[in-house]
Structure 1
Amino acid sequence: MVVLSSCNSAKESEEKTETKKETTSPAATKKTIVFFGNSLTAGYGLDDPSESFSGLIQKRIDSLGLAYKVVNAGVSGETTAGGNSRIDWLLKQHLDVFVLELGGNDGLRGIPVAETKKNLQAILDKVKAKYPDAQLVLAGMQIPPNMGKTYAGEFKAVYKEIADKNNIKLIPFLLEGVGGEAKLNQADGIHPTAEGHRILAENVWVIIKDLL
Structure 2
Amino acid sequence: MIRFRNVSYRHERGRRAQGRPVLEGITLDIPQGSFHWLTGPSGAGKSSLLRLMHLESLPDEGQVELLGVDIRTAKRRQRALLRQKIGFIPQDLRLLSELDVFDNIALPLRLAGGTRETIEAEILSILDWLGLGSKKNALPDQLSGGERQRVAIARALVMRPSLLLADEPTNALAEGQSWQLVEALQALSRSGTTVVVATHNEALLRAVDYPSIALKNGRLAGITPR
- With structure 1 as the length reference, what TM-score do the two structures score? 0.30
Q: Which structure has the highest strand share of the two?
A: 2
Greater Cα radius of gyration, structure 1 or 2: 1
